[in-house]
Amino acid sequence: MNHTAEKGILHQFAAELLEATTSLVPVAPLRDRVEGMTLADAYYVQTVQLEHDTAAGRVLAGRKVGLTSLAMQAQLGVDSPDFGFFFEDMVHHEGAKIPVSGFIQPKVEPEFGFVLKHALQGPGVTLEQAAAAIGAVYPAIEIIDSRITDWDIKLVDTVADNASCGAIAVGSVPLDVDPAQLLDVSCSLVIDGQVTGTGTGADVMGNPVAPLAWLANVLGEEGVALEAGQLILPGSFTKAEPVTAGSTAVADFGALGTLTIHFTD
């Protein structure tokens, strides 16, 4: 990847975002603060944060692909996916009570959660190879959050900000579905009893396994593998919806199962 910005300013951006993650005081959009910031620059900022937190002892649990649905691309005005990471201390489970005070401006997205049964490393990973690496498919919800003021983001802003990842919730029981049948699976996002959006697997980049293959290939170009046991979220079925204290969010896969989480003060 080609960097255009000075490494010094990129490290400064990473430091600001790390600080915002703990202070919960958002920072000004990055794109306007350095001329011609590229996607490579943004991923460099993201990687600096990953390396900082890994060195501090946080354990990588998996990765998320974002902006894979037309709904989410339209919401952000982009035409390509992005990716980020999450640590074990960011993962919640069925029935979790999650304080909104841990976020700046949280929203939720319903997703599949793929647990890998063997490693995947590109380049050259095919859809078939990606599907064969999926050991189990779980219901999942991503809690997205932005360390950028007022969600005022373009692609480089969200990428630098770890693809706006806030936390992950994943079910305790896998969905009873074959990875080959994921295109037809329907999922609704339900907030406080109201369906706010519904999509199918086909809404996730045409095939929800495609983001997994894409991610393996993009990371593979950098010499990074997706490891066995990691959890991969391939992207949202619907557009993101905000949550507040008292909200209950459900990823409803119908007869296949549900995942419910609650937000508290």
pLDDT in tens, 112-143: 999 999 999 999 999 999 999 999 999 999 99
Give the other-Cβ count within 10 Å of 198's Cβ: 15
**Residues β-bridged to residue 245:** none
Check pLDDT > 80 for residue 239. Answer: yes
Q: What pLDDT score does 4 carry? A: 67
List, in order of start, the domains of the chain with CATH numbers: 59-264 (3.90.850.10)
**DSSP helix/strand/coil, 225:** coil
Question: What's the rounded Cα separation, in Å, for the pair 51 and 40?
Answer: 16
Question: What's the rounded Cα separation, in Å, for the pair 119 and 125?
Answer: 11
Contacts with 22 (C-beta within 8 Å, 6 or more apart), sequence order: none
**Residues β-bridged to residue 112:** 139
Check pLDDT > 70 for residue 76. Answer: yes
pLDDT in tens, 78-120: 777 999 999 999 999 999 999 999 999 999 999 999 999 999 9
Tell me, yes or no, if the pTM score tops 0.85: yes
